[in-house]
A = this chain, B = another copy of it.
Amino acid sequence: MYALDQLKALLKEELAKQEYVETPYSLYAPIVYILADGGKLIRPMLALIAYNIYRDDIEKVLKPAIGIEIFHNYTLLHDDIMDDAELRRGKPTVHRKWNINVAILSGDAAAITAYKYIGYCDDIYFRRAIDFFNQVAMDVCKGQQFDMEFETRNDVTEAEYLHMISMKTAALLAGGLRHGALIAGAPEDDYTALYEFGLALGMMFQLQDDYLDVYGDTEVFGKKIGGDILENKKTFLLIKALELANPTEKKELEEWLSRKCDKDDKGGKGSESQDKIKAVTEIYTAIGIPALVQAKIDLYVVEAKKACEKINVPPERKRYLYEMMDFIDKREK
């Protein structure tokens, strides 16, 4: 078996080849740009890890794994337009660096490239690979639709929120794992368990993301802290806070929610943005939200472990699954 850093090195090497680039280059330049900084590469890494549980000829899963990563970045290109996000991994977003049309069309080209790369597998797996990928891709789309609809609602429930992130975030992590296992010839029970494992992992990942957006360290996390608060984003933290706040806290919270702050505000000391972030964070802390998020994450850790146990291979073949779980549980960026 390959160690995680070996897998990552192989993945980066394959990505650097940019074999997906065709003529006209201008169509692919934004894809090259958004893939250049790499990000955490969690989704393709999960595909590699799942494949490597069953097979060692890891070169056969590199292109499909890159397909998963390209699909992820296609959703980022389009989501960043919808959110009018300014920065992505510290660099200007594509629609701000170029324009909206470029981000739409290069995103479309990225989606097609993803389908092409997903298809690099033996014919016996191809039908399931595409059927599964269609389901995952549509889940991601539906998750984004729910997320957008939540923007204008103040009554989003915890259950609705968890359903939304299971589609928008968790489905693709789960899909990457299932895809890797499928094309390695894993039995159906195994790749289904890996999908369940991935869903739990995805929930942990997104809840941690919500948490770090408020309580993370800007330097380590790599994005501005408090962005979700400024956008009144319906995160797990806000939903639970609205549910559990006492009347005074609730009134104060709703007062802050009614104040629109410019999210591109650089947020120097004394800016209203900084005041809002500070005040809302204090309310969260007073209510005990941090412990609540961690407890929720712990529940998904239990679910992930349960799913992991169902995978019918010797324990040592699963060690990197546990390592990834640990990494996501403890991540600070």
- 9-residue interface stretch from A52-60, A143-151, A254-262: A143-151
The residue on B at minimum CB distance from A145 is B27
Binary contact track A128-159/B, C-beta < 8 Å → 1, others 0: 00110010011001101110110000000000
CA distance A82 to B109 in the complex (A): 15
With most chain B CB atoms within 10 A of its CB, the pick from A111, A113, A131, A145 is: A145
- Which residues of chain B are near A144, meaning CB under 8 Å? 105
Range class of the A interface residue count: 35 or more
Number of copies: 2
Contact A145 to B100, CB < 8 A, known contacts A112-B134, A115-B115, A119-B131: no
Tell me if B109 and A81 are in contact (CB < 8 A).
no
In angstroms, Cα B131 to Cα A78, docked, is: 24
A76 within 8 A of B: no
Chain B residues in 8 Å Cβ range of A134? 112, 115-116, 119
Task: Confirm or deny: A108 has a beta carbon within 8 angstroms of a beta carbon on chain B.
Answer: yes
Q: Top 6 nearest A-B pairs by Cβ distance?
A: A27-B145, A82-B101, A112-B137, A109-B141, A116-B134, A112-B138
Q: A27-B141, A81-B104 are in contact. List 12 more A-B contacts (CB 8 A).
A: A24-B145, A24-B149, A27-B142, A82-B105, A104-B104, A105-B141, A112-B134, A112-B138, A112-B141, A115-B130, A115-B137, A123-B127
